[in-house]
Amino acid sequence: MENGRKHQDADGAQTVSWTDLPRKDQLFVITMTRLSEPLVQTSIQSYMFYQLKWFDPTLPDSVISGQAGILHASFTAAQFLTAMLWGRIADSSLFGRKTVLLIGLAGTCLSCIGFAFSTSFGQALFFRCLGGITNGNVGVLRTIYQSRAFLLLPMTFNIGVIIGPILGGVISDPAGSYPDLFGNVAFFQRFPYAAPNLVSAFFLFCALFGVWLCLEETLDIALNKPDRGLQLGRRLPTWLFRNRSTAGYTLLTNQQTELDHDGPHTARAAHSRQSSISEVPQRTKQPRRRYTQRLPFRRIFTANVIWTLTANFLLGFHLGTFNSLWFVFLSTPVYDPAEGSSGLPDALKRHLPFIFTGGLGLRPPEMGMAMAILGAIGIGLQLGVYPWLSARLGTVGSWRLFLAFFPLTYFLVPYLSLVPSVSPPPHAKDGVVVWAAIVVVLFLQVVGRTFALPAQTILVNNCTPHPSVLGTVHGIGQSDNEIVIEAVPLTREAFAPFGDVIENPRPDLHPSRAHQEPSLPFSAVVANQGSAIKYQDVSRQINLYDQAPSGRPGYAIMSMFVCAARARIADPPPPAPVAGSGPDHPPEHQPPSVFPVTVLERHPFTTQTFTPLTADPAARYLVIVAPTLPSSNNSRSGEEAPGGDRLALLPVPVNLPAFASYPRPLPGHGMPDVRRLRAFVASGTQAVTYGAGTWHAPMVALGERKGTALDFVVVQFANGVAIEDCQEVFLGDRIPGAGSAGAWRKEKYRNVPLNSYMVRCGLHSRTE
């Protein structure tokens, strides 16, 4: 049934501010946890080249550069080998996501301590691998305002990029850098690069302690496990401020706001839905649907997941490569023409403009400054530009556009070695021109990263087939799946598999001339003493409630819907000429806009006819339907869906009455086939009848101005049993609450899981 809830345009009619984000305490813990990792990684990279030279001063720079690359890649390679395993562990009821975070933080902390006291390349490599193997800290931030909340993670990364290199550059080798203060300290002489690692380990320990005390588990099947750390964290304020507490009463709510898993367009505050056949408004919100079972591993790898993770791998691959080579390039000694490249093979000697030798020769403090510039640019862009621009470009649009910045950056980086320096070789590059060139190159890289990384995170989050395997997919990926279809003009022929289109087949024929017309349609007769044309049996109404499990008979009802316009649209481009089609349409059109489809519903035992109450042929509404999948495509025999429901429990009619000349077969139990979803633009002179059991979207009125509304009279049968009157599927796992007992029964059955697709219908518009 249609519903009386308020629906917002998911493309961002309202502006979301940072203060609108829910559960700020949980977001704070997550972002602080995220801060520790880039802080550790960038801190190490600022002095890694010099620590390797300290291991063995006899090695040439070419070997040191190779070791630096191996050391940097070892953490990522070890992470790659275990990421899927940690993802599965995070989704298991035995451990959960919080446990994996704690293990990752503890492992990285031990890795930092071990790296601090390493005295050889082999020891350093072992501890780097240890940190990568134990690090399963996948991004499981789930929120209803994704463009802002997912931005917290890369913004936190940029803060770490600022602090980490400066920290590593300033406090590495304190005996050599500050001989007056630490020159005689035996510890710093024996372990010159221990200080920044120990500071990083302290940050990680603080993050670990904060997660243990404050972070709530988000995995549905692990929510009921006792959490000693969280219990202790909640008691600490009482113990610390016991004398300040006062007695009193607190209102207990029946629902706790959570960071929810929604697509970028389904992600809005959920409103309670009201059935169009119910006489009692449903106002009480139910808790979010919990998932007590996991999607089988074999069903994770949909085509959408594979392509999204492939894009995620390519993005992470070239970003990781750049981060590794950038530090090596900054610290590699400057090419000195006086010495030439006599020690290198001919293929590696400088041959401009495409073969380079030498780097910038920066010391750790200068490298820290270069990386701090990168982080500062990133924070400025993310706070000031990203939310505004991404809202206009969209997730996929910004992702596609700003990927082009990376090739340009990578092409320009080696040319920094040719920028004129104030100090001649072999001194490090310096001067205003050098630093200006560094800022330009870093700006291009940060712009691409600022827009691509949050979008990629959203894409990975939204491609997940089911919330129960969110950690697994993020572990494999360590946007926004959209099926975009074009809305076409509504015609009888195109809509025939789904129902009937009711319209005047001969709008050019006046009733007064009907008796003279030799080519009247087959079903037409002259009526009302020649003052009307009657088109008979234009749509067959059907009542199949005699097959309903409840045994309650269906009765005819007539409802009225006043539908507010939810999208703007003008006439779409015309289809191929078809007999009886509407009037011609203008040939020029603007690029199409889109309307998100977040819910589909069906009425298994009845047809449903929508008739617009308007004489305006310019009125428009959107008709969205989907075929029904065979039941075997949704659930194997005896296999329970992840939500705990069986498709066989959904009551549907099995047979048509023998006397019913119904023009289409009954769809059956199956879920909607969203990949074959169809969208039609209907005019105010057209009515539609949805066939019994046809999956369709709630009615969408279209208008050019706010406040526009379109009235409909709806005719159907009903028996007052919610699950028999209406069954719903929410795309992207958007599950609003419901209040009454009847609505609870509908809630129990309606959300049979399907792939978390976000469907968007393209709506062509034109310039008036």
Q: Any idea which of 61-65, 109-113, 687-691 has the lowest mean pLDDT?
A: 61-65
Q: How confident is the model at residue 593 (pLDDT cuts 50, 70, 90)?
A: low
Cβ-based neighbours of 96, under 8 Å, separated by 6 or more: 90, 217, 219, 222, 225
Checking if the pLDDT of 190 tops 80, the result is yes
CA distance 57 to 50: 9
CA distance 344 to 273: 72
Report the helix count and the strand count for the chain, using DSSP H and E.
Answer: 20, 17
Give pLDDT, residue 218.
67
Give pLDDT, residue 66.
76
Q: What is the CATH number of the domain that holds 740?
A: 2.60.120.480
490 shares its domain with 414: no
Check if the beta carbon of residue 45 is closer than 8 Å to that of residue 75: no
One DSSP character per residue, 238-298 reads HHHTGGG------PPPS---------TTT-S------BTT-SS---PPPPPPP--SPPPGG
Checking if the pLDDT of 607 tops 90, the result is yes
Instruction: Give me the number of domains the chain comprises.
Output: 2
Question: 294-318: per-residue pLDDT in tens?
Answer: 555 555 667 777 777 777 777 777 7
- Given 452, 480, 508, which residue is the final one in a domain? 480
Under the phi-then-psi rule, with left for phi > 0, alpha for psi from -120 to 50, and beta for the rest, what region is 376? Answer: alpha
Beta strand extents in 138-243 (DSSP E only) = none
- What is the C-alpha end-to-end distance of the chain, expressed in Å? 35
Check if the beta carbon of residue 594 is closer than 8 Å to that of residue 264: no
Checking if the pLDDT of 619 tops 70, the result is yes
Question: 135-154: per-residue pLDDT in tens?
Answer: 766 444 333 334 455 556 65
Residue 290 falls inside a structural domain: no
Q: Which of 233, 232, 228, 227 is nearest to 214 (CA)?
A: 233
Residue 399 falls inside a structural domain: yes
CA distance 737 to 283: 9
| Residues forming a β-bridge with 715 | 558, 609
Cβ-based neighbours of 345, under 8 Å, separated by 6 or more: none
- Given 416, 449, 480, which residue is the final one in a domain? 480
Residue 332 falls inside a structural domain: yes
- Alpha helix (H) residue ranges in 506-631: none
One DSSP character per residue, 119-132 reads -SHHHHHHHHHHHH
Q: How confident is the model at residue 23 (pLDDT cuts 50, 70, 90)?
A: low
627 shares its domain with 729: yes
Give pLDDT, residue 63.
79
Dihedral over Cα of 597, 599, 602, 608: its sign: negative
Cis upstream peptide for 353 (omega within 30°): yes
Angle between helix axes 194-214 and 24-55 (nearest 10 degrees) is: 160
455 shares its domain with 526: no
Amino acid at 458: I
Residue 50 falls inside a structural domain: yes
Judged by DSSP in three states, 135 sits in coil
Radius of gyration of the chain (CA): 32
- Alpha helix (H) residue ranges in 332-431: 364-384, 386-393, 395-402, 405-412
572 shares its domain with 652: yes
78 shares its domain with 115: yes
DSSP secondary structure letter of residue 757: -
In this predicted model, which residue has the larger pLDDT, 177 or 558?
A: 558
In this predicted model, which residue has the larger pLDDT, 365 or 717?
A: 717
468 shares its domain with 570: no
Checking if the pLDDT of 364 tops 70, the result is no
Query: Which structural domain, as residue segments, surrounds residue 462?
Result: 19-229+306-480
CA distance 417 to 429: 8
Checking if the pLDDT of 83 tops 90, the result is no
Judged by DSSP in three states, 763 sits in strand
Q: What is the CATH number of the domain that holds 347?
A: 1.20.1250.20
- Given 463, 480, 497, which residue is the final one in a domain? 480
Q: 72 — phi, psi (to 5°)?
A: -70, -45
Q: How confident is the model at residue 690 (pLDDT cuts 50, 70, 90)?
A: very high
473 shares its domain with 526: no
Cis upstream peptide for 426 (omega within 30°): yes
CA distances from 186 to 190, 191, 193, 195 (A): 6, 9, 13, 13
DSSP secondary structure letter of residue 526: E
Amino acid at 585: H
Cβ-based neighbours of 719, under 8 Å, separated by 6 or more: 545, 548, 550, 552, 553, 554, 555, 605, 725
392 shares its domain with 430: yes
Checking if the pLDDT of 522 tops 80, the result is no
185 shares its domain with 121: yes
435 shares its domain with 559: no
CA distance 409 to 759: 35
Q: How confident is the model at residue 189 (pLDDT cuts 50, 70, 90)?
A: confident
Residue 717 falls inside a structural domain: yes
Give pLDDT, residue 536.
84
How long, in residues, is the chain? Answer: 768
CA distance 172 to 649: 66
472 shares its domain with 495: no
Neighbours of 255 (CB within 10 A): 11
Q: How confident is the model at residue 749 (pLDDT cuts 50, 70, 90)?
A: very low
Question: Which pair of structure tokens corresponds to residue 367?
Answer: 């490298």
CA distance 29 to 209: 10
Residue 74 falls inside a structural domain: yes
Question: 534-574: per-residue pLDDT in tens?
Answer: 888 888 888 999 989 988 999 999 999 998 877 654 444 44
680 shares its domain with 540: yes
Give pLDDT, residue 170.
77
Q: Which of 455, 454, 483, 457 is nearest to 470 (CA)?
A: 457
Q: Which of 413, 404, 330 is nearest to 372 (CA)?
A: 330
Q: How confident is the model at residue 603 (pLDDT cuts 50, 70, 90)?
A: very high
Question: 620-676: per-residue pLDDT in tens?
Answer: 888 999 988 776 444 333 333 333 334 446 788 877 765 555 667 788 777 887 777
Give pLDDT, residue 687.
94
Question: 45-63: per-residue pLDDT in tens?
Answer: 777 877 888 888 777 766 7
Check if the beta carbon of residue 259 is closer than 8 Å to that of residue 142: yes
Give pLDDT, residue 545.
92
In the predicted model, what is the mean pLDDT of residues 198-211? 87
